[in-house]
Chains A and B, each alone.
Chain A
């Protein structure tokens, strides 16, 4: 089984009738994802891409049994749309939107406390269970079903890593983009927990970068829970100039403990195998697998 999603996941799409919503919903339907509803306030009662549209998430959930949502909502209203989905108790929420005000994410995080919802993103490419379910905007031609779980802070690097894994004959159970924003939903530690508990996942790749504390928290999780499956980690940003924001709002290397070297050391000390370069992640995982078999 994949984690969080599978072929039975019933997806609704908030903001489906807009340009991005239409384009990506169409791609997800073509991939085989069960898209059961769209939500656009004021457009309830219509049908779009063959899918019924509702005014609210609660109505859509009740009418269609949707158990996941993806947001194609602009930054100004994305926070409110997320809280609507949390209040409707949708189990899974995936947010692609970039540049959401940070205090809106603080409000969302408060709404998540004690809720039934897991949040992926924002500023995420989404979640993919190859050949079963795509909730997101990622490239899929090289993704294959298989034993590796991937959790990443970067969309294009995820595509790259997936391509390398498939190249060495290792398919993927699930790929999760935790997103590039400083305040976000699920993190590396929770992804590790999900992958360790998933019988189909046999190895894990973490794709990290400078800034924030995700990698340190993953290292702490590994120290406290043990290395139950091989973990390969890539941390990029060793050559980044200090204190410069590099595209991802979360990737600000401002304190000694959140530079690439400290993160690499923390993960290495916790038992992860460090991929020496971004083009060698597939090879590193392949080797970790061979050693495990020996």
Chain B
């Protein structure tokens, strides 16, 4: 779960991380009132959407007065903001954050994340740069890294040393070390998978202030954080994807015309590859999780039958110990009966309970072609979608 900037900053303040004075506003009038209350002549009006790279897309406006804040908020609120991370449609701006500017002496990038290779919480830090997204994508060469023990047994000295390596003088380095220590504690206590502060500003007064913050919380740990459930905003989560998840199915809508039913993420990716290699275009990605029952599978198949673009259904299933073939076949039959839509179906079904599943399939009397080889099945589905079969 990704948090909005204002939610992330609320959390950080609980861990004694300084953020600029700020207030959230839902209307232009609230924005003007917030600006008056902050009482600074250097203000920022920041669109709150769950995506980065907002400044480049015009989602962060510098203003000097309450009337300026009102005007900027009026432009941003209720609009959709498209950044390099949102896709062309953009995300709706429902709130703006009004914040005071800070007098910066130096700016840094700081992130804590779980590094899969070492399996530890790792700090990544360096000087702020204008091309940060590209720099990170290139592996952040020249940035400092430090692995921290989750048991919290790091030496305070090594955190200060990290500050020194960034070129900070003694007092600033020591403050920097303290900030990293607090971020580390926050990371563990809230079950984060990412905390990113970009930029962390060293002010002319010598303080360290988080001017922007991004926090992602591990969904797998949601059961031990009932308090964060209220932070979840469904607004920008793909509703189709979310519904599928409730039925133990990972589903991603794509723009092609071949509906895909697969159990397992790896086999699902392989099926997309085979369809693409045969010259076809998938209508979706599907991974039926092992915990899905036939009614869940019926829901997933129903989503494809509801998609007017889909012209053919490609079913590629390897029944395993946790989910046998007949469970999937039952789900298919229920979905077709509910929908009433007649869609040609190409099947490759093998593995546990294969024989039983095929007997049931024959009884359901669905329009179908069967293959033993999944490459041939994919090619046939592409041919049907393209009107060649």
How many A residues, CB 8 Å from partner?
64
For the complex, what is the distance from the CA of A277 to the CA of B373, rounded to whole Å? 12
For the complex, what is the distance from the CA of A95 to the CA of B234, rounded to whole Å? 32
Quick check: A212 and B116 within 8 Å, CB to CB?
yes
A237 touches B (CB below 8 Å):
yes
Q: Mark B104-121, 1 if CB is under 8 A from A, else 0.
A: 000000000010110111
Closest A residue to B351 by beta carbon equals: A139
Chain B neighbourhood of A249, CB < 8 A: 220
Q: Mark A199-237, 1 if CB is under 8 A from B, else 0.
A: 000000001011011000100000000000000001011
Question: Which of A141, A160, A207 is packed against the most chain B CB atoms within 10 Å?
Answer: A160
Which of A75, A154, A239, A255 has a CB less than 8 Å from the CB of B282? A239
Main secondary structure of the interface of B (DSSP, over half): mixed
For the complex, what is the distance from the CA of A237 to the CA of B267, rounded to whole Å? 10
Quick check: B252 and A244 within 8 Å, CB to CB?
yes
For the complex, what is the distance from the CA of A256 to the CA of B133, rounded to whole Å? 12
Chain A neighbourhood of B49, CB < 8 A: none
Q: Mark A242-268, 1 if CB is under 8 A from B, else 0.
A: 001111111100011100000000000
For the complex, what is the distance from the CA of A256 to the CA of B137, rounded to whole Å? 7
Which of B137, B150, B263, B375 has a CB less than 8 Å from the CB of A279? B375
For the complex, what is the distance from the CA of A225 to the CA of B174, rounded to whole Å? 44
B318 touches A (CB below 8 Å):
yes
Quick check: A163 and B350 within 8 Å, CB to CB?
yes
For the complex, what is the distance from the CA of A278 to the CA of B278, rounded to whole Å? 13
Chain B neighbourhood of A170, CB < 8 A: none
Quick check: B221 and A103 within 8 Å, CB to CB?
yes
Quick check: B269 and A210 within 8 Å, CB to CB?
yes
A positions within 8 Å CB-CB of B: 20, 24, 27, 75-76, 98-107, 109-110, 125, 136-141, 152-157, 159-160, 163, 180, 182-183, 207, 209-210, 212-213, 217, 234, 236-241, 244-251, 255-257, 277-280
Pairs A–B under 8 Å by Cβ, sample size 20? A98-B289, A103-B221, A104-B221, A106-B120, A110-B151, A125-B320, A139-B351, A155-B290, A155-B320, A157-B318, A160-B267, A210-B269, A237-B272, A240-B272, A247-B265, A251-B265, A255-B137, A278-B374, A279-B378, A280-B375
18 further contact pairs, Cβ within 8 A, besides A182-B114, A183-B119, A255-B139: A98-B289, A98-B290, A102-B114, A103-B188, A106-B120, A109-B119, A110-B119, A110-B149, A156-B262, A159-B320, A160-B270, A163-B350, A180-B266, A213-B116, A240-B272, A241-B252, A278-B274, A280-B375
